[in-house]
Structure 1
């Protein structure tokens, strides 16, 4: 993918992920069936990731992603992005995320990411991988 195509792909991904009105199943076409995500040391498979996405949609009123850096090479993407979010309780949070994506057949097959809570409640430091039970 070109840099512009990669940016559009990522904007689409986060648009689907963070829009509380969109069902998580709308994202399935972006991921391989054997998808794995390692976020802050927690490993999620596709089923876990969809549960995580549902958790985000249940917590967040709105969120905006700002990309600081995007690098694309062959079947890999790396980005640094900032997420500014408003939770349904009215509180806010800001998180910086470093993400490495592995692509296969135009879909995401693996993500490794580290997140850092810049502003917000300390209990939201796990929001990059939280799954509500």
Structure 2
């Protein structure tokens, strides 16, 4: 499977449902996973907590990939995340990210997020844990 298809399908499964599936996250993310996001660094366990917090704070999350470019084990993404919060307000965040995939698992991410619209208190959705 192409790495960009792997990333897109993984995001759809993680964010396309309201449930939190830790087993699936562990299945597609390497134990050595590192994510740099907005000046913070998350290792796998913190990343799993991050996804759990997102699921607790939101009713739904939609990821709209504008651009996915693959070169070797690296995928660059330009995407927009629209989160419907539990209070029914919307938060829209623009994300630029570099992902790396090896042996069918994501092992690295470096991303910047920018709040486009919504409550400024939700501007940390990219790194909340």
TM-score (norm 2): 0.92
Whether the 8 Å CA contact 1:20–1:58 is kept in 2: the answer is no
- With normalisation by structure 1, the TM-score equals 0.90
2:99 counterpart of 1:101: yes
Which consecutive unaligned segments of at least 5 residues does structure 1 have? none
Deviations along 1:64-96, one digit per CA (max 9) or x if unpaired, are 111111100111000000011101111111000
How do 1:39-54 and structure 2 match up within 5 A?
39-54=37-52
Secondary structure in 2 matching 1:84: strand
Q: CA deviation at 1:11?
A: 2.7
- How far residue 21 of structure 1 moved from its aligned partner, in angstroms, is 1.6
2:85 paired residue number: 87
Q: Match of 2:21?
A: 23
Aligned length: 128
SS of the residue aligned with 1:66? Answer: strand
Q: Paired residue for 2:11?
A: 14
Q: What residue in structure 2 maps to residue 112 of structure 1?
A: 110
CA RMSD of aligned residues (A): 1.4
Question: Which structure 2 segments of 5+ residues have no match?
Answer: none
Aligned to 1:127: 125
Matched, 1:67 2:65: yes
Between stretches 23-32 and 72-81, larger displacement belongs to 23-32
Match of 1:38 among 23, 36, 43: 36
What's the secondary structure of 1:126's corresponding residue?
coil
